């Protein structure tokens, strides 16, 4: 692309560095900023800078937070003794949006993946193990993606917690609501048959 303005070109290049945004989309976004009020563009830029500078990570669960302890961890009406273990804050947001979970979280920051050079030391596993042993934790719910890496991570943490008397569970896998049996993959269908539920518990969940 040929630009007649270096300012425009550098703005397009900055946008194009973001994932999933090519040069054409970047140009469209920059042209939109150009049409916006100057004050609003200033607000846009400053919000990004401030977010990056001031955001903190909760010292207890490693979720993003505005203070040292996040609003979920400091909420005493939530069951702090039930911990949902997730890969990133993306899953925290997804689970919170369901409004069905009233416990606490622990963000691992990834899953064990030796091929990508990610071992247990790079993840927030030690803090989880310490937390579970120190606090009155009753249950760990693993909500990791169903990959070999996710399963390895669950296995590793389970080993580390040997002798701990609490419950360790994982979220249910099965046919999604609205999904058709015919098109489900074999693995999912097989698991959903193995882990079948009594009809009463199914009714009460819907």
Q: How many helices (H) and strands (E) does the chain have?
A: 8, 6
- Closer residue to a second copy (CB): 109 or 174: 109
The correct pick among 10, 59, 102, 158 for binding a second copy (CB under 8 A) is: 10
The correct pick among 82, 85, 86, 92 for binding a second copy (CB under 8 A) is: 92
DSSP 4-60: S-HHHHHHHHHHHTSTT--HHHHHHHHHHHHHS-HHHHHHHHHHHHHHHHH-EE-TT
Q: What are phi and psi of 140, to 5 degrees?
A: -110, 125
Q: Is 53 in the site for a second copy (CB under 8 A)?
A: yes
Nearest approach in angstroms of CB 71 to a second copy is 5
Residue range at the interface with a second copy (CB under 8 A); choices 64-72, 112-120, 131-139, 164-172: 64-72
Which residue ranges make up the site for a second copy (CB under 8 A)?
A: 1-8, 10-11, 14, 17-21, 25, 27-34, 36, 38, 41-55, 58, 63-66, 70-72, 88-90, 92-93, 96-97, 99
């Amino acid at each position: 692309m040929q630009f007649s303005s270096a300012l425009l070109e550098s703005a397009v290049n900055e946008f194009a560095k973001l994932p999933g945004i090519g040069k054409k989309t970047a140009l469209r976004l920059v042209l939109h900023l150009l049409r916006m009020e100057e004050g609003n563009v200033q607000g846009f830029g400053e919000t990004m800078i401030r977010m990056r500078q001031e955001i903190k990570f909760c010292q207890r669960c490693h979720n993003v937070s505005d203070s040292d302890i996040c609003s979920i961890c400091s909420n005493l009406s939530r069951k702090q003794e039930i911990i949902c273990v997730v890969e990133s804050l993306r899953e925290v947001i997804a689970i919170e949006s369901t409004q069905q979970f009233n416990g606490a979280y622990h963000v691992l920051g990834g899953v064990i993946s030796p091929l990508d050079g990610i071992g247990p030391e790079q993840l927030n596993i030690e803090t989880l193990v310490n937390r579970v042993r120190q606090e009155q934790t009753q249950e760990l719910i693993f909500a990791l993606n169903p990959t070999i890496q996710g399963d390895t991570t669950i296995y590793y943490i389970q080993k580390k917690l040997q002798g701990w008397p609490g419950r360790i569970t994982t979220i249910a896998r099965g046919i999604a609501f609205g999904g058709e049996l015919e098109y489900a993959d074999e693995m999912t269908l097989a698991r959903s048959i193995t882990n079948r539920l009594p009809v009463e518990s199914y009714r009460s969940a819907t």
